[in-house]
Structure 1
């Protein structure tokens, strides 16, 4: 498959969406805290609470995508995200900071993977799988681009001006892409399915939806916990900062490599197979990490990072293609909204939960807790794989 301009463009806009709203926060938050004299924990606590606003907005945006198409939702989302970034630049107190953070996280769904995957599903239907993978390949470099960019900008200007630059990036790079997304009007048959048979679908797909939500939300918990607390947990487990940093640096390349393999070999296995490999890799990675409690070898966190990175990379693809495989394109936005809302709740709770367990019961307890969550994710995915897809009746 030759990637289309739309697919490449969405890859760029998703990079901007994650880079400006998510990854920039970790770089700019310490500067904000110093400027206002706040505790860094307060700043990140507000960010974690803001993720709950995303859990509220996800079903709303999902239904809007089904009704109006992804294009208007993504356009309005980009404008709202730009506004939030501008407001960061002029905020004056903690209440304003909290309100702006909630606004930014409320609209994040509309400019990140879930809305982008919905746009691809509406454009390409069941053929969207390869396009989803391409988008994740491009957007997987969001941290690689925006962490150094933000740090460089901080050497030239203060954090307020950096936020204005990020707002401009949204307007000049993301907005044109979203304006170019084809307008979508569901065919009459699909509208009838969504409106007239929704109660039937809800009843028939209840078990599939529940298992998928549990598995993907558990995976989201793991990814959120690792992204924030990996260095803390590895340090508490007795590994040096150098080893922990090296392990963390291997996650990104492993993630990209797994996505490349999935893209090149996608004809050989189904989305369910990809989902089983993804959840299995996450479980195996934390089993490896748990073994370090008995055998603290330097090679273990390194191996963990490689296997975990592969699982994380594939999980992003699974989020887009598994709902499409099981439920089809009709009501896809709503399905993504529900799944995303559940995932965001657990993702918001993950960092503080794992750090709390690590501080109160030790790094071993934190690692074993993550292993249990990984087991839930893998186990529910195995159960889901035994159920037949319903997409044939919803397309």
Structure 2
């Protein structure tokens, strides 16, 4: 296949021809480090994993309800549905380096602005809209573009590694936010968390800057001349809507299970040290699922890899109500669920590149990520209500059906349209 190139630019395939695939990780380590830090310090991470700490403080200080405080996440996801594709379009046009740097620099004061809401529900909602708008460029939408620009043979593994940092940051953020609230109050917590995006901005500027004049990346896919389809063309294909639907169904389960995992494990019958042990496995298994799926999609058809995880997780969920309340079974079940939750974002990013190419990659993936985020929020709200009214067997059955349906839909995607050098 011949790819038309703009003068002075080169495609990922051309770069791979000049640089052996086995040297990708070594050659582009700067991009990978920047993406790890960027995803770990993205607006998604900094808000999702701290709201459980500063939320109760806001409730106590202003008398707000739990539902109102956590509605901020829904506001964020709905806004991201629109701002995510916009950030992606800007990254496609102007390059990753410029967008992530500017976005991170703006995200910092936006997070600090939470401390200035003064108890106004309107300003509280506006703060979430502001974060979702200026912080859209710090999400995996843009960072995955940087990975796709450089990695071909090990694209999946690089995507997986770039997202592993979110798990470690999530583990560190909760105790840090708790400490900040305890010593400096909830206002101090917002200011402290607001400093983190500055690290991402510096990383994006310094680690990506030496690479090209366009977006600070060596051998990046040319933003105007890359092989691929436009967002309009993608929208006109059945394949895009199948992918979007499959990802949405998975997101509902992920959003429904992960935020309520402590409640679910408790309702199963675990308590005390066993409960803590089981829940602690979630983070490890999520990282394992992310890396193992990333390794596999470089070697096998990505929809089949995703389907394998989904079928196993769905089957385990059907069996959980009949399992004995024993620690080993609890750890095994949560490990499977965590591994499945860990594989979805990097597999989705990989499939977008293989089915729709690089031309409008960030814009197309921005829509996918936006829909994913909204469905995660809807899943959290829906499953939260179900936990108050429905038996666990029903919740697990619904989850299984959604995962099975998502797997079957992804298997309908067919062969890659832009297979690269696989």
1:51/1:102 contact within 8 Å kept: no
2:234/2:240 contact within 8 Å kept: no
2:85/2:366 contact within 8 Å kept: yes
Q: TM-score, normalised by structure 2?
A: 0.82
Q: Deviations over 1:271-309 (max 9, x none)?
A: x34x43344324423432332323443343322111112
1:161 aligns with 2:188: yes
Alpha-carbon spacing, 1:392–1:10, altered in 2? closer, same or farther (3 Å) = closer
Aligned with 2:83 (options 57, 66, 70): 57
Tell me how far 1:85 sits from its aligned partner: 1.0
Distance 1:315 1:158 in 2: 36
Distance 1:249 1:53 in 2: 31
Q: TM-score, normalised by structure 1?
A: 0.87
SS state at 1:140 partner: helix
Distance 1:327 1:8 in 2: 26
2:59/2:69 contact within 8 Å kept: yes
Aligned with 1:248 (options 270, 279, 282): 279
2:293/2:347 contact within 8 Å kept: no
1:126/1:328 contact within 8 Å kept: no
Q: Map of 1:121-270 to 2, 5 A cutoff?
A: 121-124=148-151, 128-171=155-198, 173-180=199-206, 181-182=208-209, 183-184=214-215, 187=222, 190=225, 202-203=235-236, 206-240=237-271, 242-262=273-293, 269-270=299-300
1:281 aligns with 2:309: yes
Distance 1:155 1:297 in 2: 36
Size of the aligned set, in residue pairs, is: 383
Tell me how far 1:237 sits from its aligned partner: 4.0
Distance 2:93 2:342 in 1: 30
Distance 1:79 1:117 in 2: 19
SS state at 2:49 partner: helix
Q: Which residue of 2 aligns with 1:320?
A: 349
Aligned with 1:88 (options 111, 114, 117): 114
1:15/1:139 contact within 8 Å kept: yes
1:360 aligns with 2:380: no
Q: Which residue of 1 aligns with 2:67?
A: 41
Aligned with 1:120 (options 120, 133, 147): 147
Alpha-carbon spacing, 1:369–1:201, altered in 2? closer, same or farther (3 Å) = closer
Q: Which residue of 2 aligns with 1:77?
A: 103
Instruction: Give unpaired runs (5+ residues) of structure 2.
Output: 1-24
SS state at 1:383 partner: coil
SS state at 1:293 partner: helix
Tell me how far 1:58 sits from its aligned partner: 1.6
Alpha-carbon spacing, 1:189–1:22, altered in 2? closer, same or farther (3 Å) = closer
Aligned with 2:333 (options 294, 301, 304): 304
Tell me how far 1:261 sits from its aligned partner: 4.0
Tell me how far 1:367 sits from its aligned partner: 1.8
- Say what the alpha-carbon RMSD is for the aligned residues: 2.7
Tell me how far 1:380 sits from its aligned partner: 1.2
Alpha-carbon spacing, 1:300–1:286, altered in 2? closer, same or farther (3 Å) = farther
1:236/1:362 contact within 8 Å kept: no
Distance 2:235 2:77 in 1: 26
1:51/1:344 contact within 8 Å kept: yes
Distance 2:227 2:35 in 1: 29
SS state at 2:322 partner: coil
Distance 1:167 1:46 in 2: 17
SS state at 1:157 partner: helix
Q: Deviations over 1:238-275 (max 9, x none)?
A: 443654433221111122234444566676x23x34x4
Distance 2:276 2:41 in 1: 25
Q: Which residue of 1 aligns with 2:11?
A: none
